[in-house]
Amino acid sequence: MTRIPPSPPARGPAPDPPLTGEDAARSRDRARVHHARWHGRRWQLLWLLAGPGILVMMGENDGPSMIAYASDGAQYGLGFFVPLIPVLFALAYVCQEMCMRVGAVTHRGYGGLVLQRYGRAWGWFGAGDLILTNLVTLVAEFVSIRVGLAYFHLGAGVAVALGLALVVFTLSGGRYWRWERIVLGLALFNGLFLLAAILVRPHPGAVVSSLDFLPFPGGSVDTLLLLLASTVGATVTPWMIFFQQSASADKGMTAGDVRHGRYDTAAGAVLAAVFGIGALIAGAALLTHGGSGIEGFAGAGFPEALKHVAGSAAGAVFALGLIEAGAVAILTICASTAYAAGECAGVSRSFNSSPRNAAVFYAANLGVALLAAVVILIPGAPLLSIALNANVLATVLLPVSLVFMVMLANDTALMGQWVNKRSTNVIGITVIVFVGVSGAAYGIVSFLQVVHLINS
Amino acid sequence: MTADAGQGSGRGEPDPQEHADEPVGHLQRGQFVAETSRPVPRAALSTRAIAGLWALRVFVVLVSLMVIYTFIDQLR
């Protein structure tokens, strides 16, 4: 394999390449990073370099995921899931750290690199997987906002208007930094799920005693496989891979920022695990009530059920949490679609570009949100089934994206000294096998039951 | 494109305030749009790797079709 020659720094002997507005905007952001680093301002540096890692993890704590965690709690209680969620986010950290590292070292997004390095077929396959899962997931996010708003007696039209208004508002600044900070501010409200957990007043002993992975959830094989596949799909998905690598590059991160990128990703994973457990604990309050209200996408199902068991404050907080989770996920998932579209089309793909210079990027960002919004306005559309199957489909399609991620992170020509360590590869391959087996097992078993080749 | 790792950052460089008025003084060469628009060379994959990737792709498509079929069946 040919070693790709390193590029000299911008102020080196070679003449500077032609400048764009995107370069100038990114340079201004980098100037602040360099200034903080030069003056040894650690906290400012952390603040400046935080972003893609927290956003990707908070974006993955989306509406369907939080409903999935709460449903797990309502159906099975705390045991098994309280320790499982941190384990899954630890696995997610390993995958996302690779994305951040590849983006920071190569300054390129995932879709573009796969397309150029391994061929157009693989690039377009990946983009196709992404668009399919993103569309399905975005529908589920709008449904999540609708469920939250239904608690406050607001309808689907308001959910669509709110989601689309947020996308347009965040796109309007023409700066990555502005987009990132707005979404980070919104993402903080994912902590509402922790507040909901506190409001249901769980017994501390029950939480502590659930840390031994017991009792293992009972039920039929396909139910357990669906549970596993959807819980895995609630932790790592294809859009996360596209998003974090592209956002790290768009933010202007460099190999010198990898350490801070790791802090950012780890902080996101810890917060997401804590808030996910919050949703689980809130849902577990319904366990003693026969799991009532777990049909969480019917009307204001879950928040209403919680209100009857734990009071109106818990219900309202959970409903607000669902609105936040859906909103943040819409913004990050639309961004991942836009990055992939721009990279595969080989055109400008940056929040630092103007809509005129990055028409494909902005059109894909808004277009995919519009398409999903239209679906939830269709009378009689199977929204409940779409929402429940979104995570499963993401799990099934994930292994291919992960394989290319590991290949990129091991590509010496691209990564130089920043290639994966052996231990990272072992964990990465374990994640691929785990995800592949759990997704495929559900797909095959449920299909065989549907065609009556095995009994349910 | 790559391996400009660590260049232009940290205490080894001039005080950034020196270049505060220069719009691109803080970018590494690989970060310029002109550089990232340049395609990277195609990787040479072994026949076994290509076969493995296609096998995984076919498997994933088959399982996806099963999931979609099950999803449609559940709607009835």
CA distances from A331 to A76, A188, A197, A365 (A): 32, 14, 26, 9
Per 3-state DSSP, what percentage of chain A is helix, strand, and coil (rounded to 5)? 75, 0, 25
Distance, CA of A160 to CA of A145 (rounded, Å)? 8
For residue A34, give the nearest of B9, B64, B67 by CB distance: B9
Q: What percent of chain B is modeled with pLDDT above 70?
A: 68
Q: What is the pLDDT of residues A43-53, one digit of tens each?
A: 999 999 999 99
**Is A31 part of the contact surface with chain B (CB cutoff 8 Å)?**
yes
Res. A404: pLDDT tops 90: yes
Chain A, 385 to 404: residues with Cβ < 8 Å from chain B are 385, 389, 392-393, 396-397, 399-400, 403
Res. A142: pLDDT tops 90: yes
pLDDT band at A436 (very low <50, low <70, confident <90, very high): confident
Helix (H), strand (E) counts: chain B: 2, 0
Closest CA of chain B from A148, distance in Å: 24
Q: Name chain B contacts of A433, Cβ cutoff 8 Å.
A: none
**Which of the listed ranges A1-5, A383-387, A427-431 does the model predict with the highest average pLDDT?**
A427-431
* DSSP one-letter code for A61: S
Segment among A93-97, A144-148, A245-249, A336-340 with least mean pLDDT = A144-148
* pLDDT at residue A1, rounded to an integer: 44
Chain A, 108 to 167: residues with Cβ < 8 Å from chain B are 108, 113, 116-119, 122, 125
Look at A339 and A12; give whichever has higher pLDDT.
A339
Helix residue spans in A212-300 (DSSP H): 221-233, 238-251, 258-284
pLDDT band at B3 (very low <50, low <70, confident <90, very high): very low
ipTM above 0.85, yes or no: no
8 A C-beta contact, residue A364 and residue A167: no
Substitution target from B36, B38, B74, B75 for chain A, most A beta carbons within 10 A = B36
Of A106, A110, A109, A260, nearest in space to B4 by CA: A106
Distance, CA of A354 to CA of A175 (rounded, Å)? 8
- Chain centroid offset of residue A427 CA: 20
* pLDDT at residue A157, rounded to an integer: 92
User: What do you get for the CA distance between the two ends of chain A, in Å?
Assistant: 51
Q: Which two tokens stand for residue A305?
A: 């059920």
- Chain centroid offset of residue A84 CA: 18
Q: What is the pLDDT of residues A113-124, one digit of tens each?
A: 999 999 988 888
Closest CA of chain A from B73, distance in Å: 7
For residue A107, give the nearest of B30, B59, B70 by CB distance: B30
Segment among A289-293, A378-382, A438-442 with least mean pLDDT = A289-293
- Chain centroid offset of residue A86 CA: 15
Q: Name chain B contacts of A446, Cβ cutoff 8 Å.
A: 66-67, 70
8 A C-beta contact, residue A205 and residue A79: no
Substitution target from B13, B33, B73 for chain A, most A beta carbons within 10 A = B33
* pLDDT at residue A288, rounded to an integer: 65
pLDDT mean across residues, chain A: 87
pLDDT band at B12 (very low <50, low <70, confident <90, very high): very low
* pLDDT at residue B2, rounded to an integer: 46
* pLDDT at residue B1, rounded to an integer: 44
Q: Do A10 and B24 touch (CB under 8 A)?
A: yes
* pLDDT at residue A415, rounded to an integer: 96
Substitution target from A254, A398, A415 for chain B, most B beta carbons within 10 A = A254
Distance, CA of A127 to CA of A116 (rounded, Å)? 13
Q: What is the pLDDT of residues A346-369, one digit of tens each?
A: 999 999 999 999 999 999 999 999
8 A C-beta contact, residue A302 and residue A318: yes
Look at A384 and A271; give whichever has higher pLDDT.
A271
Is the pTM here over 0.95, yes or no? Answer: no
Of A321, A324, A357, A328, nearest in space to A342 by CA: A357
Res. B55: pLDDT tops 90: yes
Closest CA of chain B from A201, distance in Å: 37
